[in-house]
Amino acid sequence: MARNPLTREEVLEAAASLVRRHGPAALTMRGLAADLGTAVTSIYWHVGNRESLLDALVERTVQEMGAVRPVGRTPAARILSVARILRRELRGRPHLIAMVHERGLTERMFLPAQQALVHEVHAAGLRGARAADAVRAIQFQIVGFLLVERNRERSPAQSPAEGDLWDPATAPDDPALARALSRPADPERLFLLSVRALTEALLARPGD
């Protein structure tokens, strides 16, 4: 029955794996103890309580999102690459990202990306308060889009579906638009299109 002494790291690892696979609701202290083959109360010795266990998982996730390396020739292209990188990272950890969001740490998670954006906006020639606005607008745009997209994926069958509302009868004067809106959106395309449009408007804007 002897087993290596339990470590905090083991607890976190098992908990993270549980959350990754089945979401935070599936993480019960008793279930986790069963997974680890220890008494429930041992876990408390290592991580305090459930709340601080979740905090630790969130903290881990925030750290993991730290690396952002923009690529591309122009500032606009490099900004777009930041968007692309963030999208990929986010989509790999849906439950953990949701937990970061619930805890109000979404912004902190994106600070490294913000630094990258500052650099690019600066390279594009923006300065001062105008540069700050551009950085924040793009940051909000990227993060916001990804939150909406995640929601859409997890979403149950929608009723009424977008399609039901946009059949030709509702918009008789533009069947192509009705058709486009009744098809599911391609999120990646829409994402890149949106970031590109916003970036263009923000970088092009001259001083007033």
Summarize as ranges the residues that interact with DNA (CB under 7 A). 5-6, 27-31, 38-42, 44-46, 49-51
With CB under 5 to 8 Å by kind, the binding choice for 208 among a second copy, DNA, none is none
DSSP states along 165-203 = HTSTTTSTT-HHHHHHHHSPP-HHHHHHHHHHHHHHHHH
Please tell me the distance from the alpha carbon of residue 197 to that of residue 96, in angstroms, as a whole number.
30
* Distance from C-alpha of 85 to C-alpha of 79, rounded to nearest angstrom: 10
What does 201 bind: DNA, a second copy, none (CB cut-off 5 to 8 Å by kind)? a second copy
Out of 17, 144, 168, 188, the only residue in the binding site for a second copy (CB under 8 A) is: 144
Residue 156 contacts a second copy per CB under 8 A? yes
Partner from a second copy, DNA, none contacting 194, C-beta within 5 to 8 A by type:
a second copy
Task: State which of positions 45-104 bind a second copy (CB under 8 A).
Answer: 101, 103-104
DSSP label at 5?
P
146 interacts with a second copy by CB under 8 A: yes
Among 49, 63, 125, 174, binds a second copy (CB under 8 A): 174
Report if residue 200 touches a second copy, rule: CB under 8 A: yes
Which of these, 188, 191, 187, lies nearest to 199 by C-alpha position? 191
Residue number, 11 or 113, with CB nearest to a second copy: 113
As to burial, measured by CB atoms within 10 angstroms (0-12 exposed, 13-18 middle, 19+ buried), residue 200 is exposed
CB of residue 166 to a second copy, shortest distance in Å: 8
Touching a second copy, residues 97-116 (CB under 8 A): 101, 103-108, 111, 114-115
Nearby residues of 54 by Cβ (< 8 Å), 6 or more positions away: 24, 27, 99
The torsion angle over the Cα atoms of residues 62, 136, 200 and 81, rounded to 10 degrees, is: -10
